[in-house]
Amino acid sequence: MVVQTFFTSGLHASLVAATWGSFSATLVYIILHRPKVELFDEGIRITNPFDQITVGWQRVESVDAKYTMSIQVGDKTIYAWAAPAPGRYHSRTIHPSEIRGMDIGIDGLIRPGDSPRTHSGAAAYLAILRLKSFRDAGSTDGCESSLVSNKRDMGILIASFIVGIILNIYHF
C-alpha cells in the first residue's frame, strides 16, 4: 500500500502512508515478534514488548502457567507475553499419555496452562526443570538481575504516531 501510494499520489499522501506504515510495522514487531523467553543455566530472560527482564535462578521463587507463564521474584510476578495459556476448554483435550512422567497433574487435575502442548506449559515445564537442576546443584551463583527498557522501538512508535497525526491534520 505504501509503495503504491508513492507512485500514484503526491508528496503529502506519500509521507502520510510512509508514517502510518512505519507505525503499523513497528507495532506489529513490538507485539508479535519481540516477546520471547530465554532459559539458561544461570537464569531466565523474559523479553516483553516494553522491557527485557533478566533474573538469576537464585532469586526465582516459583514458576507458574495460569494465564501466561510467570515467575515469582520476591513480591513481584513477572509475566511472559511469549507464553500465553490456551482457552479454558483445552484441558478437555489432554490425554493422560501426554503428561506421563512429567510430574505435573499428580493429583489427577491439570490446568489448561500446564499442558505440554501449549506455549505456557512447555515454557513453564522447561523453566521448572532448569530451576530444579540449579537448586539441586547447590549453586547460589546465578546471573545478575537486570531490567532493560525498549526505548528505541517505543520512540519510533510514538514518533511515527505523532507525525502521522500531525500530517493528517495539516495538509500541504
114: buried, middle or exposed (CB in 10 Å: 19+, 13-18, 0-12)?
buried
Q: What distance lies between CA 84 and its chain's CA centroid?
A: 8
**pLDDT band for position 9 (50/70/90)?**
confident
Q: Is residue 92 scored above 60 in pLDDT?
A: no
Per-residue pLDDT at 139: 76
Grid-cell match 516459583, residue found: 62
Q: Are 110 and 92 in contact (CB under 8 A)?
A: no
**pLDDT band for position 19 (50/70/90)?**
very high
Q: Does the predicted TM-score (pTM) go above 0.75?
A: yes
Measured CA to CA, the distance from residue 125 to residue 63 in angstroms comes to 9
36: buried, middle or exposed (CB in 10 Å: 19+, 13-18, 0-12)?
middle
